[in-house]
Amino acid sequence: MSEARVRVLTAADAEAVRDLRLEGLRLSPENFGSSWEEEAPQPLAWWRARLAGPACSLGAACDGELAGLIVVSLNPRMKRAHIGDIGAVYVRERFRRKGVAAALLQSAMEWLRAKGAHAATLTVSAGNLAAQRLYERFGFVACGQLQRELNVDGSFHDELLMQARFL
């Protein structure tokens, strides 16, 4: 496998992003606030608009295939504009433990710093220890726990709120 190449995704990537995102929602529903049922019926135009929106979607390609995705944005509210938000992190199973998620997170953090962010926040499933360890490597610390935050088919999942400060 070649090294992951991370780039900003555009509306031209809508089909690949849709396929990857729906895979993540289907295989790991406890790791996302959205559901497959909500996003699968959306037309391709919706996916294109999402990629053109205010958030920045970054994709990691390996051997020409979209292997992972991360979405990063600055908070639009004036008093919170110095805070970045990271979400929608997903890496295909066959590309895990190969540095893809780290490359995506590194790129997201660089994007936020370049935009003047002082900190970044994210949530992670309390049961997803591998993701928590990755985020900790990048300076994130747990600063709260959201109990019963997600209801996946009648099973409740807690989420950890994590934050990394740049300044």
- Given a contact cutoff of 8 angstroms between Cβ atoms, the answer to whether 81 and 97 are in contact is no
Residue 3: its pLDDT value, please?
87
- Given a contact cutoff of 8 angstroms between Cβ atoms, the answer to whether 108 and 86 are in contact is yes
| Dist CA 43 CA 45 (whole Å) | 5
How much is the pTM?
Answer: 0.95
- Residue 153: how many CB atoms within 10 A of its CB? 7
61-76: burial string, b at 16+ Cβ within 10 Å, e else: bbeeebbbbbbbbbee
Residue 84: its pLDDT value, please?
97
| Dist CA 150 CA 124 (whole Å) | 11
Domain boundaries, the chain: 5-165
Low-confidence ranges of the chain (pLDDT < 50): none
Report the number of secondary-structure helices (H) and strands (E) in the chain: 5, 7
Give the SS3 label for residue 59.
strand
Residue 77: its pLDDT value, please?
93
Residue 1: its pLDDT value, please?
66
| Dist CA 69 CA 24 (whole Å) | 10
| Dist CA 81 CA 73 (whole Å) | 10
CATH class of 5-165: alpha beta
